[in-house]
Structure formats: C-alpha cells, structure tokens
Amino acid sequence: MSKGEKILVIDDLIATGGTAEAAAKLIELSGGKVAGFIFVINLFDLPGNNLLKKKGYKTTSLIEFPGH
C-alpha cells in the first residue's frame, strides 16, 4: 500500500462494527486512508453502522435486516 492510498473495504455483514473498525485501524496504521465501507447486509438495530458513521466513515449497504 502506498502512503495516502485510498482503500474501499467490502464485507458481507455489519453488526457491532468491531471487525470493520479494526480493518480501518490497520489501513490507517499502514499509511492508507479508508475511502469507505460497503456491506452486503446491515443489521440496522445493532450499533455497527452508526459507530462507523460517527467516526466519519462513509458506509453503504445493499440489504437491511434487524439483528435480533
């Protein structure tokens, strides 16, 4: 990865946001910038998506389901 390179993170599911947040930290520690996140499924009643948005990340999901 080049310093300042923009990375788009694509994942199947966003629930609590722990894995996505860890991926963002690894990208940033490596000198990259997170361009955004794309998830196939957002479990909208769990805090993950809102956590990422509050940290300033752009997120998009294809499908929304309740998490319980």
The answer to whether the beta carbons of residues 14 and 35 sit under 8 Å apart is no
Q: What is the pLDDT of residues 13-52, one digit of tens each?
A: 999 999 999 999 999 999 999 999 999 999 999 999 999 9
CA 43 to chain centre: 13
Rounded to two decimals, the pTM is 0.92
Domain residue extents for the chain: 6-65
Sheet containing 33-43, strands listed edge to edge, beginning at the edge strand earlier in sequence: 6-14, 33-43, 59-65
Above 80 in pLDDT, residue 68?
no
